[in-house]
Structure 1
C-alpha cells in the first residue's frame, strides 16, 4: 500500500511567497534590498522615514556638516531614544492597567460581600 502525501495549503502559500528586489536610497546612497512583495511598501516607507529624519537633523545642525555616516548614527540614536520612550510608555500603561484591574477586583469583592 502506498501512502499519498498531502500538502498543507498554508505551507504551499509560504513556499510561493514572492520576493522582489527593491531599490531605495538612504542619505543619497542607493541600496537594493530583496524583500517579500507584501513588505515593499513598508520598506519604502521606512526608507522615507529615515531620509526625513536625516533632513530634520540637517536643518537642526547648521554649524557643522556631518557625513552621511554621522547622520545615520544620529538617526539610529534618535530612533533608539524613541523606542526606549515607547517601551517606557508601554510599561507604564501595563502597570496602570494592572492597578485598574486590581481596583475593579477589589470593588467587585466588596460588592459581592454586601449582597
Structure 2
C-alpha cells in the first residue's frame, strides 16, 4: 500500500469509532487476498506450459512384458533398444536355458556394459592414434618445407 493510503487510514482511525485492530485485520485480509491472487496467476502460468507427452509402452524382453513410460518422441529409439536387448537376451538364454529372468537380465546388463566400455576404450585409442598421426604429418610437412 502507498503512504497516502496509510495516512488516510490513520486519520479515519482517529475520527471514527472503528477500532484500529479492525482496520489492521481488513488490511491483512487484503494482503492475503492479493498474495493468493498472485499465487494463482503464477500457478496458471506454470500450468499453461506444455507438458512433455509421456506414453505407456509395453516392451517384451526374453518373453516377459514390461510397462515402460516413455516420452513420445523417444519411442522409436526405445523400440530399437528393446529389439537389440531382446535379441541379446535370447542368445544368452539359448546358451544358458536354466537362468531365471532376473539372472538373465543381470548377465545381459553386465555383458552390454562390457561392450560399452570396450567401445569407449577403442574410441579413446583411435583418438590417440589420430593425434599421433597428425603430429607425424605435421613433422613431415615441416621437414619438407625446411628442405625446399
TM-score range normalised by the length of the shorter chain: 0.7 to 0.9
Query: 1:25 and 2:25 equivalent?
Result: no
Could you say which residue in structure 1 is the equivalent of 2:105? 72
Q: For residues 3-22 of structure 1, what are the structure 2 equivalents within 5 Å? A: 15=50, 17-22=52-57
Gaps of 5+ in 2: 1-49
TM-score normalised to the size of structure 2?
A: 0.60
TM-score with structure 1 length normalisation?
0.75
Quote the Cα distance in structure 2 between the aligned partners of 1:29 and 1:59.
16
Alignment of 1:44-59 (within 5 A): 44-59=79-94
Aligned equivalent of 2:40: none
**Distance in structure 2 (CA, Å) of the matches to 1:113 and 1:17:** 61
Larger-gyration structure (1/2): 2
Could you tell me which residue of structure 2 aligns to residue 86 of structure 1? 119
Aligned pairs, how many?
100
- Label 1:59 to 1:28 Cα distance change in 2 as closer, same or farther (>3 A): closer
1:17 Cα deviation from its structure 2 partner: 4.8
SS in 2 for 1:35: strand
- Identify, as 1 or 2, the structure richer in helix: 2
| Structure 1 residue 23 displacement after superposition | 1.5
Alpha-carbon distance between aligned partners in 1 of 2:94 and 2:66, rounded to the nearest angstrom: 24
2:130 counterpart of 1:97 = yes
For the aligned residue pairs, the C-alpha RMSD in angstroms reads 2.0
Q: Secondary structure at the match of 1:66?
A: coil
Match of 1:110, SS state, is: helix
Q: Which residue of 1 aligns with 2:24?
A: none
